[in-house]
Amino acid sequence: MAVYVWYQVFMDGPISQVRQSQNFLDFKEKEVKLTSDNFQVSVSLPFTREHRSAMNIMKYLNFRGVLINKDEDGEEAGFHNLDLQPCAEQQSLKTSFEICLNVEKDIKFQTANDEIKLYFFKCDDNILWKYYPSEVCETDSQLIQKFVDNYFLMVKTKTIFFDSKATAERDNDKPEDFFKTQVISSNMSMDSGSTAVMNFILNSKILKGSTSFLHESLFYFEREFMSSKIQLTDRVPSRSDYLEISFQVQGDQQVVEIIPNNIVAILSNLGGFSGIIYSIVQMILAPLQRFVYYKKVIKKTYLYDEQIFASQGNENAGNKVRNAENEYNESDQGDEGSDRGDGDEGGDQ
């Protein structure tokens, strides 16, 4: 028993089981939203000698983001403009111009058909003036074509996933220790006659469990996170957009539950373990017990003890000798009595 407890505590790891289930995601009962904690996307362009500033690049390239709301039949029901803008200086790389989707204000999905669209297209004066009121878009077709031919767009998205290897590490005593973050990068070239299309699927997931070694109801946690994966990359004919990125939430939700090893579970398993050991020992000893029992029964019923028999025989022999002596003595006394009687009769005569 001590070996079993030692194995459970020190060798089997802190997590005994990981359960995964898939549940239907009801958008009416559960709010699905993107936040700065679970979602990030950016598109960057490297600086060159000809284009060393964000203002210079935006004379050739503009962008906008929109959330398209759709009903359950997939018909468009409205849209909301999203805050897609150059990243803050502390987030941008000095060697590139980076455009980020601002999710400080939560982006909420109403149905599984809702879609986020990010467009990157030729410069538009109305958009450029929002950032640089005194500038105008480049109109030289040769310079525009050179820009398109020499540049590529790097798309980066952050995805969060459950790290199953973390369940074997004993230092993981916080819920955040079970999450891993990965940045997915893809380079998309620009073309004046076609649009590069990238479709991402967002998977809503929940991780729940406990980090307590006493009982699973203590230090219980439940964290919701979002992971993303590329579903499709394609190129379609177009003369306006260079790149189109779409994000759509999957219609089901994955639930990951981690069940830790704890004292209550170990003691519960120990009861069943001891029962198994008892059954095995009983199976081995039961035939031996029956053999010993039947041997005693047979010995008492059909066998005899030689010592007892010898003592009983000696006692019977002694009784016979004593009986014979008694008979002999009685016969001698009878003979003497008869001799006396004969002597008396002779004297009288």
Residue 4 and residue 270: Cα distance in Å, rounded? 8
How confident is the model at residue 323, as a pLDDT?
65
What distance lies between CA 348 and its chain's CA centroid? Answer: 134
Q: Is residue 267 included in any domain, yes or no?
A: no
In terms of Cα–Cα distance, which of 71, 62, 81 is closest to 122?
A: 62
Q: Is residue 166 part of a domain?
A: yes
- Type and span of the H or E element at 182: strand 179-189
Please report where in the chains the tokens 């964290």 appear, as a residue: 223
Q: Which of 261, 276, 295 is the last residue of a domain?
A: 261
Residue 344's domain comprises 304-348
> In 3-state terms, what secondary structure has residue 36?
coil
Last residue of a domain, one of 261, 280, 315: 261
Mean per-residue pLDDT, 312-329 = 60
- Contact between 179 and 225 under an 8 Å Cβ cutoff? The reply is yes
Mark whether 222 and 329 lie in a shared domain: no
Mean pLDDT of 101-124: 87
* Confidence at residue 245, expressed as pLDDT on a 0 to 100 scale: 93
| Of the ranges 4-8, 163-167, 224-228, the best mean pLDDT one | 224-228
Using a 10 angstrom Cβ sphere, with 0-12 exposed, 13-18 middle and 19 or more buried, the burial of residue 18 is middle
Q: Are 232 and 199 in contact (CB under 8 A)?
A: yes
Domain co-membership, 245 together with 330: no
Tens digit of each residue's pLDDT (9 = 90 or more) over 61-72: 999 999 998 887
Residues 99, 34: contact at Cβ < 8 Å?
Answer: no
90 φ/ψ angles, rounded to the nearest 5 degrees: -75, -15
**224 and 125: one domain?**
yes
* Per-residue model confidence (pLDDT) at position 303: 64
Q: Does some domain include residue 286?
A: no
Has residue 238 got a pLDDT over 70? yes
Residues 251 and 315 in one domain: no
pLDDT of residue 192 exceeding 60: yes
Looking at the fold, whether 6 and 140 belong to one and the same domain comes out as yes
Given this model, what pLDDT does residue 60 score?
92
Return the pLDDT at 346: 47
Check: pTM over 0.75? Answer yes or no. Answer: no
Same structural domain for residues 328 and 183? no
Task: Tell me: do 182 and 312 sit in the same domain.
Answer: no
Q: Give the mean pLDDT of 139-168.
A: 82
State which amino acid sits at residue 111: T
Whether the predicted pLDDT of 181 surpasses 70: yes
pLDDT average, residue stretch 250-259: 81
Which has the minimum average pLDDT: 213-227, 251-265, 302-316? 302-316
- What domain count does the chain have? 2
Q: How much is the pLDDT for 335? A: 55
Across the range 250-269, mean pLDDT stands at 72
Mean pLDDT of the chain: 76
Question: Which is more confidently placed, 80 or 90?
Answer: 80
Q: Which residue has the higher pLDDT, 258 or 142?
A: 142
